[in-house]
Structure 1
Amino acid sequence: MTVLAKATVLVVLLVEVTIGAEALQDIPEFLHICQVQQPQYETCVTNSINDLKPYLKVGVPEYHIPSLEPLKLKTISASPSNSLTMHANDINVYGASNFEINKIKMDLTNIVFNVDVALSNIAIDGKYEVDGKILLLPIHGSGPLSGNFSECIGACKIKGERFFDENGVEKIRIIDFRMKISVGKGSIKLDNLFDGEQVLGDVVNSAINNNFQLFMREFSPLLEMALSDAFQDIADKIIQQFSFSQLFPGA
């Protein structure tokens, strides 16, 4: 082999090593990894996630962890019934980092995780468009949206899959994230209903808040869809920086 050929092979090997090194992040000190075979593994995972909350609140850009205060949601649209169409955008959620994990169940064979979380209080603001009927009342308008929700319970079912990336490293990705939410108490305000007609707007807002649980049956699917999409995107970006064996040693 000529000197030039040897040099070429060496360069190629160095490039491959560099690419492989850049494909994985080192596990950061703030992310406590639990050994799969250790006793009370799920309790360890719960504690590890709870320890992450201060970092989730402010974000860690170098590990693709965004700040959850506020959590910014994408545009969402839904027609929960034949008589109602709702759109919301520029939504900010405050208080998402103050979650408490009530229960976690992990099935690493099928890569299915079930997580129950509690949120004492969350607030939202954003913009809305609505047209149709809510609680048998006609409703039409667009403008600012704000709300406060307390005693919130979230049930998350997360489905993942193992795969090999372009460098042959086995990783995990999230292929489905479903969240169901129940709200104990709350209030919501839709400004500029009926093109700013104050009396009609006050009547509808009052009816919504006097029948809050009925309204949430219409509004919850929008919030669940937006939160599920946001958390799937965040979680997927974080976990794909690491190999499966880094995240689940002993599995």
Structure 2
Amino acid sequence: MLLWPVFLFAIVGRLVHGHGVISADNPPPYVKQCREDDPQINSCLISALHHLRPYVATGIKEIELPSVEPFLMDELSLSLTGGENGYKISLKDMKIYGASNFSMSRLKLSENGKPFEAKINIPSLKINARYQSSGVLIILPASGNGTFLGQFDDLDCILKGKTSTNKKDNQNYLHVDGLHVDLTAKDMRMMVKDIFKNNPILTEAINLFLRENGQEVFKVMMPQLRKKLAALFMGIANKLLTHVPIDAFYLPRRT
């Protein structure tokens, strides 16, 4: 979802297009080039990432980059209250909207083996998922199925990761070796509908719980969400990076 920008600046080093390789002298329209000796290199890279936003939203077929609108996630399982009959929910077939509307405010490239770091903001991230629950909520049996809708506003994402390079066919390729994701949201709204044959009492009880405990629910989501996002984005990035050399986007110093 919300992590594509960190990888994309590396992915578009030299891009496979049709039956040939696009050179640094003839980049595709979605590439804004930056040069290693630019004194404002970080600003250039951030600008290049922002240039990519409309292409990320629709996808780039030439490099097998799918659209991130919506971004799909399989499942989150959450235990929200303790005890033998604690309230547990499962969110499945999650569709996440808004990830392409990011802005980056900070980028620190990897140096001397240290992790790269980036901070991005997403104004609004919306989630639509199938909802399943079990256990007791307050005093009500809360087992049921339905639809979960969530909106997370002013979402800040801190990304840290390590990369390495490897050589293949006389070309250098980048590999993402590890990634850590941390998220905070300033405001959030969560609700369910169509619960247990539209049971109004159970639906209102669940929605009241979600309204009053939004930040706590988000905290419970975080460990799984961080792990799933990191593994998913690393897999997608490295699948692309195995086919993409580095040098047409990140141009070498002038001689």
1:162 counterpart (135, 160, 165): 165
Q: Could you tell me how far 1:133 is from its partner in structure 2?
A: 6.8
Task: Tell me whether 1:42 sits opposite 2:42 in the alignment.
Answer: yes
Amino acid of the structure 2 residue aligned with 1:185: D
Q: Structure 1 residues 204, 75: closer, same or farther in 2, change over 3 A?
A: closer
Could you say which residue in structure 2 is the equivalent of 1:171? 173
Relative contact order higher in (CA < 8 Å, ≥ 6 apart): 2
Could you say which residue in structure 1 is the equivalent of 2:184? 182
2-structure distance, mates of 1:24, 1:134: 58
- Indicate the percent of aligned positions where both proteins have the same amino acid: 21
1-structure distance, mates of 2:176, 2:228: 16
2-structure distance, mates of 1:164, 1:187: 47
Could you say which residue in structure 2 is the equivalent of 1:227? 229
2-structure distance, mates of 1:221, 1:88: 15
Equivalent residues of 2:31, 2:249 under 8 A apart:
no
2-structure distance, mates of 1:204, 1:98: 30
Equivalent residues of 1:141, 1:192 under 8 A apart:
no
Of the two, which has the highest radius of gyration? Answer: 1
Between 1:130-139 and 1:170-179, the stretch displaced more is 130-139
Q: What stretches of structure 1 of length at least 5 have no aligned partner?
A: 1-21
Matches within 5 A, 1:73-88: 73-77=73-77, 85-88=88-91
2-structure distance, mates of 1:182, 1:138: 31
Q: What stretches of structure 2 of length at least 5 have no aligned partner?
A: 1-18
Equivalent residues of 2:32, 2:249 under 8 A apart:
no
Q: Structure 1 residues 139, 247: closer, same or farther in 2, change over 3 A?
A: farther
2:148 counterpart (145, 150, 163): 145
2-structure distance, mates of 1:25, 1:134: 58
Q: Structure 1 residues 210, 77: closer, same or farther in 2, change over 3 A?
A: closer
Task: Give the SS at the match of 1:225.
Answer: helix
Q: What TM-score results when the alignment is normalised by the length of structure 1?
A: 0.76
Q: Could you tell me how far 1:85 is from its partner in structure 2?
A: 4.9
Amino acid of the structure 2 residue aligned with 1:163: N
Q: What CA deviation, in whole Å up to 9, does each residue of 1:154-187 have, x standing for no partner?
A: 111122221234x353211112222211111111
Could you say which residue in structure 2 is the equivalent of 1:15? none
Q: What CA deviation, in whole Å up to 9, does each residue of 1:27-56 have, x standing for no partner?
A: 534212322232121111101100000111
Task: Give the SS at the match of 2:100.
Answer: helix
Q: What TM-score results when the alignment is normalised by the length of structure 2?
A: 0.75
**Aligned length in residues:** 230
Equivalent residues of 1:84, 1:133 under 8 A apart:
yes
Q: Structure 1 residues 127, 170: closer, same or farther in 2, change over 3 A?
A: same
Q: Structure 1 residues 177, 133: closer, same or farther in 2, change over 3 A?
A: farther
Between 1:60-69 and 1:97-106, the stretch displaced more is 60-69
Could you say which residue in structure 2 is the equivalent of 1:53? 53
Amino acid of the structure 2 residue aligned with 1:66: P
Amino acid of the structure 1 residue aligned with 2:146: G
Equivalent residues of 1:139, 1:194 under 8 A apart:
no
Task: Give the SS at the match of 1:220.
Answer: helix
Q: Could you tell me how far 1:138 is from its partner in structure 2?
A: 6.9
Amino acid of the structure 1 residue aligned with 2:229: L
